Amino acid sequence: VSFLNAGCGYGGSCFPKDVQALEKTAEEYGQSLLILHAVEAVNQQQKQVLGQKINQHFAGQLKGKKIAIWGLAFKPDTDDMRAASSRVLIDQLLRAGAVVTVFDPVAMPEAKRVLALDLTDAPALFNQIIFADTAMDALMDADALAIVTEWKAFRSPDFTQIKISMKQALIFDGRNLYEPHLMNEMGIAYHCIGRAVSAFAPTVQN
């Protein structure tokens, strides 16, 4: 049921592999399971959503922007980076010229290994990733925060400290962890997925 939640895409190895195996089995029997093709296509699109929202907010001017990312593993309570949505977002941001500061409670060593492999065609971009020691360290002077993995530690942060640490209080929530009206009350510009929040989001300067 958790896969039905609106968000920035699923990852890992088991579920994607099962979908692909079903598709292949169907093809062997001369059938095309359109719904599974759609599942894969939509999932790949969803992995692009956070990057598109961030790029749109900054009017395509991401060069030199510092974007913090909370959560790197494909799901909480693991260091598994296989097909993780964070990898897509980080690639989008780096290639647009942004500096990326990242934090995950468990997956940092694996993330360093995997992200270096992802950037073998552009190794200099790896130097634009800052691996923070804590979630709050990742936010220092950040222009925006993107939440990619729904770790429990991210569900009830110190929002006052978030506002103090960042250049502007701007959150792109890929897992819908927070309530839009509460973000509005705290003066935080908030963008999530699958929920209309335009009435709540305060105006911020790029």
pTM for this structure? 0.81
Q: What's the pLDDT at 24?
A: 73
Is residue 191 within 8 A of residue 172, CB to CB? The reply is yes
Q: Structure tokens of 17? A: 């592999």
**Confidence (pLDDT) at 21:** 60
Query: Angle at Cα 108 formed by Cα 40 and Cα 161, nearest 5°?
Result: 100
Q: How far is CA 102 from CA 11, 53, 191, in A?
A: 18, 18, 19
> pLDDT at position 163, please?
96
Across the chain, which has 206 residues, the per-10-residue mean pLDDT values are 53 59 70 67 74 96 98 94 94 97 98 97 97 98 97 96 97 94 95 67 43
192 catalytic per annotation: no
Predicted confidence at residue 118, as pLDDT, reads: 97
Tell me the residue ranges of DSSP E strands in the chain: 66-70, 99-103, 129-131, 144-147, 170-173, 189-191
Residue 108 makes CB contacts below 8 A (sequence gap 6+) with: 72, 102, 131
At 7 the pLDDT is 59
Matching residue, tokens 């065609």? 121
In the block, tokens 């500061």 appear at 101
Q: Which of 4, 14, 59, 196 is catalytic?
A: 14
